[in-house]
Structure 1
Amino acid sequence: MPSKLEQLKAMTVVVADTGDMAAIEAFKPTDCTTNPTLILKAAEMPAYRPLVEEAVHWAQAQNLPAAQRVEAACDRLAVTFGSELTRRVPGRVSTEVDADLSFDTARSVAKARRIIADYESRGIGRDRVLIKIASTWEGIRAAEILQKDGIDCNLTLLFSLAQAVAAAEAGAFLISPFVGRILDWYKKATGQDYMAETDPGVVSVRSIYAYYKAHGHGTVVMGASFRNLGEIEALAGCDRLTIAPALLDQLAQDHGPLARVLSPDSRGATAPARIAVDEASFRWAMNENAMATEKLAEGIRLFAADLGKLKAMLAPMVEAA
């Protein structure tokens, strides 16, 4: 019997959640996602030292103040990693807008446009890239602007139906609901363990998937942030799933049967009724959802902290000129 990874690929677009080229070559996903944490980890690996040095040397040549040269080096490195990844996957690579811009629509749009321009300068078209933006109200508005410009967006750090509906109504190409981080919050809050069928993260993604299919939204649902194989198996058939290398390896080693759980034709009878999300209702829904509010804020802080670590790593190199 084929591995569960091969079975999953037959029903879901499998995306590698890593910046490690070797892992991508080993598991042959269709797409690849990165974020500041993954770029930081990859940048610390000796194998990718040449990519770091290229970004540093490029930034040193820019006529910018020191702090802006460091920021430019980080941006250059993210796109350089993304460019290398496009050579290893046939589909899309996601590159993230700085987390500290999550509440600034205009600056998020400007940063996204610079990222796309850098990709295009290397001969990589917009159809190979997704711009990742946090699913704040301001981030969703930035995605709305970018989508109208033909720049496809991946709205990340998504923990609630309100975020998902707002993203779809903004025309976002893709959303990344964070399954494992939802589970983390509920385990801490309740002290309970959960099976796959009761896992709050799984339940959330199934609800979003059912809502989108029931109401004709074309936005892609890509489950993310998995803690175990059970979560992945419980979402088999979802539009896309982005999976870390360790779990991809477990799927590749397991040759048991994998049943399809989700499909557009069997969305179930429990799809939520259509809801409208304007700014006031969005902010109220988030206020009433402690999990979504806390995990969104925590995720932004963590990504911002890792971007800060990357800047701290690159700064002495950039300033050594």
Structure 2
Amino acid sequence: MTSKLDQLREMTTVVADTGDIEAVARLKPVDCTTNPSIVLKALGTDMFADDMKEAIGWGRKLGGDVDKATIAVADRLAISVGAALVKLVPGRVSTEVDADLSFDTEGSVKKAHGIIAAYKERGIEKDRILIKLASTWEGIRAAEILQKEGIDCNLTLLFAKAQAIAAADAKAFLISPFVGRILDWYKKSTGKDYTPDEDPGVVSVRDIYHYYKANGIKTVVMGASFRSAGEIEALAGCDRLTISPSLLDELAKDEGKLERKLSPDTSAKIEPMKIDEKTFRWMLNEDQMATEKLSEGIRTFAKDLETLRSQVRKELQQA
């Protein structure tokens, strides 16, 4: 009997939710996804010590405004982590636009152009990268602009169907609905435990998946933020799943049978919706869970980004 991980790979593209180079090399995912938390953790390892030293030296040569140099060095380090991951996977690496630009369409587009240019300087073309943006109205509009330019985007921090429909309307390449964070909110709110099939995060992703397939939407659905292998198994067959190394290892050791739960062939007809800005904001406002988790996610990523910048600023200011 093959492992559940191998069985999952037969029906779903497996993505590694980590910046751990050794784990990626060992587990051999197709794609990798990063965020400020992952980048910060990766840069804390010995493996990236030389990259840190190089980036700080580069930053000191910039001179001028320390804050501008700090941002430039932090960006350079995020690209260093992404470039290391590109070497290990055959597919794409998601690289995140700064969380503090989540409500700035123009700023997000400009930052995305900078990310693509920085990778190109290292010989990495845009077809190996996904630009990761928060699923705010402004982030979705940035993705719409970038997609028209041929730059593929990953809309993250997605908790509600309104976000998914707006992302599809923008022709985003990929969305990352967060399973575990939805479950966290409902467990705290209700005090209940949920089976994988009852899990509100699983139910949300299934709903989005069926809506997309029923309406011929090409945007890729990539479930993210898992709390257990049971959640992953409940979404077997989803386009892509981004999974932490610990859960990938758990699935690799389990030789039980994995049943396919999602398939394009089983999606019944669902009436399509068009969502303008007013409707988007109202639907999101009416969804307390999605509103709170989106806000919390942006704050968390912004905090980790500031932690990285603080470390860089300290290094730059040292004699």
Aligned partners of 2:159, 2:116: CA distance in 1, in Å? 27
Residue deviations 1:56-110, cap 9 Å, x none? 2222222441001111111001111111111000000000000010000000000
Map of 1:216 onto structure 2: 216
Identity of aligned residues (%): 62
Aligned partners of 2:283, 2:92: CA distance in 1, in Å? 32
Counterpart of 2:275, as a letter, is V
Structure 1: which 5+ residue stretches go unaligned? none
Contact 1:35 1:303 in 2 (8 A): yes
Map of 1:307 onto structure 2: 305
Map of 1:74 onto structure 2: 74
Aligned partners of 1:279, 1:64: CA distance in 2, in Å? 40
Map of 2:294 onto structure 1: 296
Contact 2:32 2:92 in 1 (8 A): yes
Contact 2:215 2:270 in 1 (8 A): no
Q: After the TM superposition, which parts of structure 1 deviate over 3 Å for at least 4 consecutive aligned residues?
A: none
Q: CA deviation at 1:46?
A: 2.2
* 3-state DSSP of counterpart to 2:242: strand
Map of 1:43 onto structure 2: 43
Residue deviations 1:228-286, cap 9 Å, x none? 0010000001000000111011011111111111111122x4x6431110000000000
1:198 is the counterpart of 2:198: yes
Aligned partners of 1:188, 1:64: CA distance in 2, in Å? 48
Q: CA deviation at 1:52?
A: 1.6
1:276 is the counterpart of 2:260: no
Residue deviations 1:120-153, cap 9 Å, x none? 1111111100000000000000000011111100
Following superposition of structure 1 onto structure 2, how do residues 1-321 of structure 1 map, counting pairs within 5 Å?
Answer: 1-267=1-267, 269=268, 272-320=270-318
* 3-state DSSP of counterpart to 2:94: strand
TM-score w.r.t. length of structure 1: 0.98
Contact 2:157 2:297 in 1 (8 A): yes
Q: CA deviation at 1:47?
A: 2.5
Aligned partners of 2:212, 2:155: CA distance in 1, in Å? 15
What RMSD, in angstroms, separates the aligned Cα atoms of the two structures? Answer: 1.0
Counterpart of 1:203, as a letter, is V
- Shift in CA distance, 58/272, structure 1 to aligned 2, threshold 3 Å: farther
* 3-state DSSP of counterpart to 1:61: helix
Contact 1:207 1:272 in 2 (8 A): no
The number of equivalent residue pairs is: 319
- Shift in CA distance, 11/63, structure 1 to aligned 2, threshold 3 Å: same
- Shift in CA distance, 253/64, structure 1 to aligned 2, threshold 3 Å: farther
